[in-house]
Amino acid sequence: MASSNRAVTFHAPKDMRVESRDFPKLQMPNGKSAPHGVILRLVATNICGSDLHIYRGSFPVPEGMVMGHENTGEVIEVGPDVEFLSEGDLVSVPFNVACGRCRNCRARRTDVCETTNPKVDCGAYGFNLGDYDGGQAEYMFVPYADFQLLKFPDKDQAMAKIRELAVLSDILPTAFHGLMEGGAKTGSTVYIAGAGPVGRCAAACARLLGASCIIVGDHNKDRLELVKNNGCETIDLSQDAALTDQIEAILGEPRVDCAVDYVGTEAHGLGPQAEDMDPAYAINQVIDATRAGGATGVIGVYGPDPLAKSKAEQEGTYPIDFGKAWIKSPRITAGQAPVMHYNRELMMAILWDRMPYLSPMLNTKVISLDEAPEAYATFDTGVPLKFIIDPHGLIPA
């Protein structure tokens, strides 16, 4: 058993460091013993677009916090109350920390667990939501393991597809959740705001669901080229034209059945305003792009943002064009994804090769733990990559 634990830690905006920390214990953040928990050796731990909110200073976290909420690992220590997991099992860790016992967890609403964070009904690893250490590390502690962890049925089969299965912890279920909340189904026309890794997962999920016209909007030409090469229509949001006009040029009508915001508070405007951050822009964009009677998903991270220009937006209050949307009888759903509502089914879709567009859409790059700080800086430039940290050199080339 190792005695220390090297991890990626946050020190200040744009200052990530790899440092040695104590080896994790079967213990909750409040010090209470956690016999229901396990210790994992991390096999894959990804850098997420949400991590960039922290990296840029948009989402405040404590100095020294261990980063990482997209985690896949091997069980190496099992608490005495754990019955259904064994040492050596390979598991996916949903980013929602959930007890499995409260009213919301019992309804599979693990995004709003009532017990794992005393400050708000939401717990998460490496995100200042309950003081749970993240998994961009060699080892991590996971509580309520029997409930939370998704065990892969065949370890060798899983390792052969680990680059795809590594996104079951967050961005693939998050992408799928946005489409579900937007009512996407066979034949739907879909607009996806953002061609980052979550938006690209959404494009792959839309293909899985049988959507017809899948349109992805972004300012980054390299990201747009990647999704275009994988069968999507694209809109360059840096062009000075109304989004609905650009949708009409593709679709023949200005609005879609389902529109989803995968961007969040760091969205930018259209055309000449594209250089200026407008935290409410993506929300208003997708509401406007949704047809009357359609549905809109708001999956990008929103909350108090110290980088926003106005005091109201810094406090988490955003100007939403609800008055214009009301007449369309809108259905708008927002919030984090309940990962456990989708991850098993998506795992099976990957294992049975039903998502052939996922891997080329993701465009993964595997890196070492020591390369993580540099990867954060590179990812922040908008490159069309998904960085997967391999702390122990276990991922096949």
Q: Which residues of 234-265 are buried (b: 16+ CB within 10 A; e: fewer)?
A: bbebbeeeebbebbeeebeebbbbbbbbbbbb
Query: Tens digits of per-residue pLDDT, 56-66?
Result: 999 999 999 99
Q: 299 vs 132, which has greater pLDDT?
A: 132
Q: Residues of CATH 3.90.180.10 domain(s) within the chain?
A: 4-170+342-350+361-389
Question: At a CB cut-off of 8 Å and minimum separation 6, what does 273 contact?
Answer: none
Dihedral pair phi/psi, residue 207, rounded to 5°: -65, -40
In CATH terms, the superfamily for domain 171-334 is NAD(P)-binding Rossmann-like Domain (3.40.50.720)
User: Is the pLDDT confidence value at 275 over 80?
Assistant: no
Q: Residues of CATH 3.40.50.720 domain(s) within the chain?
A: 171-334
CATH class label, 4-170+342-350+361-389: alpha beta
Count each helix (H run) and each strand (E run) in the chain, helices first: 15, 15
Question: At a CB cut-off of 8 Å and minimum separation 6, what does 144 contact?
Answer: 36, 37, 97, 98, 99, 100
Query: Tokens 């100007």 correspond to what residue?
Result: 319
Range with the lowest mean pLDDT among 69-73, 236-240, 380-384?
236-240
pTM of the model: 0.95
Mean pLDDT score of the chain, rounded to an integer?
A: 94
Q: How far is CA 243 from the centre of its chain?
A: 25
- Using a pLDDT cut of 70, give the percent of the chain over it: 97
Residues 354-373 have a mean pLDDT of 97
Question: Sign of the CA dihedral 180, 296, 174, 359?
Answer: positive
User: Is the pLDDT confidence value at 295 over 90?
Assistant: yes
**How far is it, in rounded angstroms, from Cα 168 to Cα 347?**
7
Beta strands in the chain (DSSP E): 4-12, 15-22, 38-46, 71-78, 90-93, 139-142, 150-151, 190-193, 214-218, 233-236, 256-261, 290-298, 331-334, 364-367, 386-389
User: Is the pLDDT confidence value at 85 over 80?
Assistant: yes
User: Is the pLDDT confidence value at 228 over 90?
Assistant: yes
Residues 207-219 have a mean pLDDT of 97
Residues 348-370 have a mean pLDDT of 97
Q: Which of helix, strand or coil describes residue 129?
A: strand
User: Is the pLDDT confidence value at 280 over 70?
Assistant: yes
- Using a pLDDT cut of 90, give the percent of the chain over it: 85
Query: Tens digits of per-residue pLDDT, 160-206?
Result: 999 999 999 999 999 999 999 999 999 999 999 999 999 999 999 99
Q: What's 227's DSSP letter?
A: H
User: Is the pLDDT confidence value at 301 over 90?
Assistant: no
Select, from the ranges 19-33, 252-266, 273-287, the one with the highest average predicted confidence (pLDDT): 19-33
Question: At a CB cut-off of 8 Å and minimum separation 6, what does 152 contact?
Answer: 89, 90, 91, 92, 158, 165, 347
Residue 271 — pLDDT band, cuts 50, 70, 90? low
Q: Are 251 and 215 in contact (CB under 8 A)?
A: yes
Residue 278 — pLDDT band, cuts 50, 70, 90? confident
The type of residue at 97 is: V
Expressed in angstroms, the distance from the first to the final Cα of the chain is 26
Residue 272 — pLDDT band, cuts 50, 70, 90? low
Residues 139-154 have a mean pLDDT of 98
Residues 51-75 have a mean pLDDT of 96
**How far is it, in rounded angstroms, from Cα 380 to Cα 47?**
11
Residues 304-329 have a mean pLDDT of 89
